[in-house]
A and B are shown apart, each in its own frame.
Chain A
């Protein structure tokens, strides 16, 4: 039943943009229709998922599906293909953010990308928005690898059209092409991966791998999955496409991409690792190392950015790093037979998947509001927006506190779970220990404080102080259709932060699906983690804040004076003397200068009375600019020698096809 509801939801989502193609481009009817269809689809889907979780369905293995879940298998003419979909703990877990963020994004788009304001690309945007959401949901429930790949490719291609919504701009197209190349490389690895799986298991279904597979083949499976899915997830150094694509897309699309689409990479890694009963030790260690690398370098790159959305995109890399850290810990636990590491690592990683889609969605929508009001995403041109856009500022602040992993919001809870698991690798109280993992603890602390530095910079420069440029003359609070989704997301951040125990049964079912042989992961998780204390401390903290605020108000009653900011005797302060995002980040960028390689143009002063000069600094993507692009250029040079084969006449190509078919038939 749940599967059927999800299929109805997928159909509605996929069709949501279609009526718009037949309606007037100059009226807003089509966008209302699309949003209604999306909402209805999300409603059906969430009902199905809710029923699945309420039924307690664990769905370990696809054949036996208890509770509400009934797998659907229909024949499909494609070779090896079968329309085989089923819900289990993992797919249901990932369906929640897919449906939530896409429906909220669609509402946000009503005001942010009005059809009447964007008659040329509004229809296209909504068509592919619905298709992406539907394809993601299909990826999450498909159990046949051919179906999975088909859905995956639809998702990747539709996302390309979303990234290039404004295809009249050069930077957008460039980002789109890089994304397209990266996603196709990823698909190539996935083809190889699924072919290998077929060879191992003898079927195109996603089934548990037999025990007697050689270690070499297992390593190949892991590495193919890691690169294929890692490219989608944006693990450093495979993140090259991510900052450009997320910055170029319209903001509610960025929220969907950053909040959900990259999580499909995480889903893929989880799905493949769930099929392997005994992962070797180095898998977990590799993921831990990659998690630390992505986390630290992701946030370091973010600190150097001046573009609000590019900065948020780099933070996605950081958060993917934290998720990978949790998964790595869980894999270590599975190898070492430590259920507590596995449950804590997995719970932390999975909850961070949810949390990141909530607060990153919120932050991108907030960034969209800023762009909507001021028309720029250059942080150094903004300032003082908290006065003209108080609601947006408050929502953005909640998202910023949450993404820094600070109590009492949701980011803290998931990081707390990962910390607890990592501390346990110290071998408490005694016994075999894998202390190397413990060194991820200071790394996680480092990531957390760097994130605080980065978001103080963003929030302080964009929303506080005074406006730096004339763009503020028109700045205004966003319409309700844009504020509403942000408030919902902020409320979800608070809810998970204050009462994390609510998520435990759902987490438990997802963990039980991934980690075979722990049927009651939820109960064990509740035993391992003091959820009651988290709630209590959050409430105490809020009480303390309210109490402190009231005390300050009492002390100040009738005794406040308003004056200009004290500038140490300087009489004519202007907005230009404020610290900018570049100056705020300068020390940290210098600290990471060995990797970030910031490019600065500083004026050189020779005369006694120098002319007005300007200083400029930026942090480009080192991996893309200094490794990938040069490599591709030289590869392109080599490949040009193959041009003799490309004659451009159809007859020649038909000959090639015929020859290849002949050769294939010979080896049949």
Chain B
């Protein structure tokens, strides 16, 4: 009974919450800019509107262009069912699921980037090239963080990594975990194309990454992309929250609430970063990502010295 409830709650949270995070980020930025800002739920309205609209497809495109949004969303949904939101095991959980998680995003990236090239537009080529390039540098940082957690927990499944013992590990290996949280936050900003890597609100196609890659998508296809991207933000955010706040009361409603609160906090932090920082020049982006990798690597070195 509990496990069924748990499953239901997992999917409700995973499927319903992502657009809220976008709303929180935008509201935070509005507050910083001295504006009232849109409703927290604006992203839901935007998505609903997109799903009602028609799509325009370029005459140069093939089925790959339509497959891009579908693969992006499907991989994100499968990945979301692997994230342990509470101490209970997520729907999909096995030894080595962390590797599958990273590779699912790789599959999504392959198809969204290919879809961009299908349009034959130079701008989308730029976005696609940048997206895959920066992902190359973010991925090792993510895996180094996973190594730290695997070493601490002695397990290869996400569910065991984030079980009750994590709170103990904070006492014995706090610095390592703190470094992982820091590194993963940078990875989150890069993978989800936020400032300082990319500016989701810019209007200059030449400087964009993710937004320019999806420039030609419209209507329901664009809705799928935005929703999939929000889901990805949710997944990375949830992983960071679970490392940073190792609360395990055992009551899954309470634990779920803590994670939801933590996610809102992460969204506020992203909003703050976007408000106080400028976008990096593209040539400096690799340096920051390499730094994220090194931070995680130091975390691992601290642990195994």
Contacts and interface: CB of A to CB of B under 8 A. Distances in A.
Interface stretch (A65-73, A192-200, A453-461): A453-461
Contacts of B124: 579
B156 A452 contact: no
A137 to B, nearest CB: 35
B128 A456 contact: yes
Nearest to B51: A555
B73 to A, nearest CB: 6
Interface in A437-458: 438-439, 441-443, 445-446, 448-450, 452-453, 455-457
Nearest to A407: B103
A213 to B, nearest CB: 34
Nearest to B136: A449
A453 B58 CA distance: 24
Given A544-B74, A559-B54, A559-B219, A445 B117 contact: no
Contacts of B119: 465, 565-566
Contacts of A438: 147, 151, 300, 304
A573 interface: yes
Interface in A448-487: 448-450, 452-453, 455-457, 459-461, 463-466
Given A407-B104, A448-B106, A567 B74 contact: no
A541 to B, nearest CB: 5
B133 interface: yes
Contact of B129 (A540, A583, A591): A583
A575 interface: yes
Contacts, number: 257
A566 B96 contact: no
B183 to A, nearest CB: 12
Interface residues of B, number: 82
A584 interface: yes
B94 A530 contact: yes
A400 B69 CA distance: 19
- Mostly, the A contact residues are helix
B74 A405 contact: no
Nearest to A386: B62
A352 to B, nearest CB: 15
Q: Enumerate the 7 nearest inter-chain pairs by beta-carbon distance, A residue then B residue, closest first.
A: A579-B125, A460-B117, A429-B154, A559-B54, A442-B140, A465-B120, A544-B74
26 contacts: A390-B62, A397-B64, A428-B154, A428-B156, A445-B140, A449-B139, A456-B109, A460-B128, A464-B117, A466-B60, A529-B95, A541-B75, A545-B71, A548-B71, A552-B70, A552-B221, A555-B51, A555-B220, A561-B55, A566-B119, A573-B120, A578-B122, A578-B125, A579-B117, A579-B122, A591-B133
Given A460-B128, A540-B78, 20 more contacts: A383-B120, A406-B103, A412-B103, A423-B147, A423-B156, A428-B154, A435-B151, A435-B300, A435-B304, A441-B147, A449-B136, A456-B132, A465-B117, A537-B100, A548-B70, A555-B220, A562-B58, A563-B59, A565-B58, A588-B136
Interface of A: 383-384, 386-387, 390, 393, 397, 400-401, 404-407, 412, 416, 419-420, 423-424, 426-430, 433, 435, 438-439, 441-443, 445-446, 448-450, 452-453, 455-457, 459-461, 463-466, 529-530, 533, 536-537, 540-541, 544-545, 547-549, 552, 555-556, 559-568, 573, 575, 577-579, 583-588, 591
